[in-house]
Amino acid sequence: MASLTVRQLDERLKKQLRLRAARNGRSVEDEVRNILRGAAGGSDAPTRAPVTTAGASAVPSAGPTGAPRMLLIIGGGIAAYKSLDLIRRLKERGFAVRCILTKAAQHFVTSLSASALVGARVYTDLFDPASEFDVGHIRPRARPM
């Protein structure tokens, strides 16, 4: 396969390419290939792939306001520490991130550090005693007399 080198790109253009690539869920190199393909008359249809790293699983979706949302489930593994950098990068790009840490992941990443980056509560257990006291479907209701 052929290779192409582009010299003397200014930092502003490199940053724009990095941001565009992140929006489309691609590497910068793949984004440049798609731009060149589109300029040459080929297809430039953006494809968004889930962002993942070893030890983490991510599912992107759009929220009611159209802002991108991400559920990041961090599993146990030595690469789980990279998930903190992933959260930071997603937040920089405007994603609303929710995070779930498995019990094994908590050996590598603390819920406090993930919570600080997410800006919200990080879930670590399926049944949380702090929020289970108010179960809506069995809440007592006043009966009219």
Q: Is the pLDDT of residue 28 over 60?
A: yes
Domain boundaries, the chain: 10-48, 56-118
pTM of the prediction? 0.49
42-64: per-residue pLDDT in tens? 654 544 444 444 455 555 555 55
90-123: per-residue pLDDT in tens? 988 888 899 999 999 999 999 999 999 999 889 8
CA 21 to chain CA centroid, nearest Å: 14
Question: Could you give phi then psi for residue 83, rounded to 5 degrees?
Answer: -65, -30
